[in-house]
Structure 1
Amino acid sequence: MNIYEQYIEDLIPFAEDAIYEGDYHLAHKLLMSGLTEEPGYPKLHYTMGWMHHYYQTNEALAERHYLLALHFNPNYIEVYEDLVELYWSKRKYQALSDLMVKAEKCDDIDKDYVFGVLGKVAETQGEYRKAIGYYRKALMNSVDNHVTKELKQNIKRTRLKRFKNNWRWQQQS
């Protein structure tokens, strides 16, 4: 670890403490000084995005810094999780699908999470067959009993929606 990396790694906890204390101006100043030294440091961008997302509710800046963090480190799992949450809250389904396709290529992220999110996006958009397919892929990649149970419930719910949707269509004919 070189001197700049050590400086930045030491700087981030100070900025986080300032965020927790509500001194966003100081936190922003600290993070920007780090970005001035090392503009491509993913953890700085993540921390900046995290601050804007959860504490200052500036979703545009949060998204920008999250995407920059992913640009500099495509395997940054926490960024994917926070960006998924941001996109869900804003109902940006296409961006969410694109993000999960990118996340699928990441070796460190759980594939059951990726396919589960893709399934929820497809289900939300009324693409029930596609959703069931993603849920099944997620089920095949799952190693957690709780997640497996939840995925089975998702498949059951989506099948019911698909049946009801097809039944209504037939009733209207």
Structure 2
Amino acid sequence: MESLSFYENQFIKADGLISEGDTAGAKEVLEEILAQYPDFGKAHNHLGWIHYNKLSNYDKAIYHYKLAMKFDPKYPASYLNYTYLLVDIGRYSEAKEHIAHTFVTLENADYCSYNSELARIAEYEGDYILSYRLYKAAQKNALNPNFIDNMAANMKRVYHKMSIFEKLKLKFK
């Protein structure tokens, strides 16, 4: 059995392969890592990402994200990636519970991204006032100029979806 540091280096290689667009190569390397170290949380996260984003295999993605959070509970990417998946597949109540759990358990949660996802859920559910406010909260604490611009565009889109009464409520609350 090779040392863990070898597999950490293999993980870095897999991460690079994903960045280069070689998803198949990355998947192969990640599966090799997990064959030797089944509790390597970051490898589970990346496999979850591949199953979700490239293979549309949501059940396998969920499986790997849950293992990633179990085996590496301080790795924030797994929590956020799992959130994106739950929202994208319309499991809003699970996503809200997961986000609430993440806020309690994860020290370095990206509140901007989570507020953006909560806003997206509220928008899908037709609660445009809440959605607008959450996008605004996400924007307020953000540092990335592109993220800030995206939140502004999201707020504008949601504002245009509001009824006249919702717009008035927004202004006077």
Question: Does the alignment reach a TM-score above 0.5?
Answer: yes
What residue in structure 1 maps to residue 72 of structure 2? 73
Query: How many pairs does the alignment contain?
Result: 162
Q: CA deviation at 1:78?
A: 2.5
Q: 1:148 to 1:23 in 2, by over 3 A?
A: closer
Q: CA deviation at 1:85?
A: 3.5
Deviations 1:40-83 (A, max 9, x none): 32122223323433444322111111111112333323223432
Percent of aligned positions with the same letter in both sequences?
Answer: 20
What is the TM-score of this pair, normalised by structure 2? Answer: 0.70
What residue in structure 2 maps to residue 170 of structure 1? none
Q: Residues 103 and 114 of structure 1 are in contact (CA less than 8 Å); yes or no, is this contact kept in structure 2?
A: no
Q: Residues 12 and 31 of structure 1 are in contact (CA less than 8 Å); yes or no, is this contact kept in structure 2?
A: yes
What residue in structure 2 maps to residue 121 of structure 1? 121
Decide which structure has the larger Cα Rg and report it.
1
Structure 1 gaps of 5+ residues are 168-173
| Structure 2 Cα separation of the partners of residues 29 and 138 of structure 1 | 36
Deviations 1:68-126 (A, max 9, x none): 11123333232234323423432222222223323434333432111111111111101
Q: 1:164 to 1:92 in 2, by over 3 A?
A: farther
Instruction: Please state if 1:102 is matched with 2:101.
Output: yes
What residue in structure 2 maps to residue 162 of structure 1? 162
Q: Which moved more, 1:108-117 or 1:76-85?
A: 76-85
Q: 1:89 to 1:126 in 2, by over 3 A?
A: same
Q: CA deviation at 1:28?
A: 6.6
Instruction: Please state if 1:33 is matched with 2:20.
Output: no
What residue in structure 2 maps to residue 20 of structure 1? 22
Q: Which amino acid aligns with 1:136?
A: K
What residue in structure 2 maps to residue 47 of structure 1? 46
What is the TM-score of this pair, normalised by structure 1? Answer: 0.70
Q: CA deviation at 1:155?
A: 2.8
Q: CA deviation at 1:137?
A: 2.1
Q: CA deviation at 1:163?
A: 1.6
Q: 1:91 to 1:33 in 2, by over 3 A?
A: same
Q: CA deviation at 1:164?
A: 5.3
Q: Which amino acid aligns with 1:116?
A: S
Q: Residues 104 and 114 of structure 1 are in contact (CA less than 8 Å); yes or no, is this contact kept in structure 2?
A: no
Structure 2 gaps of 5+ residues are 168-173
Deviations 1:7-60 (A, max 9, x none): 43144356676x93746895475134223xxx4321222233234334443221
Q: Residues 69 and 78 of structure 2 are in contact (CA less than 8 Å); yes or no, is this contact kept in structure 1?
A: yes
What residue in structure 2 maps to residue 140 of structure 1? 140
Q: Which amino acid aligns with 2:127?
A: E
What residue in structure 2 maps to residue 171 of structure 1? none
Q: Which moved more, 1:94-103 or 1:61-70?
A: 94-103
Q: Residues 112 and 142 of structure 2 are in contact (CA less than 8 Å); yes or no, is this contact kept in structure 1?
A: yes
Q: Which moved more, 1:22-31 or 1:151-160?
A: 22-31
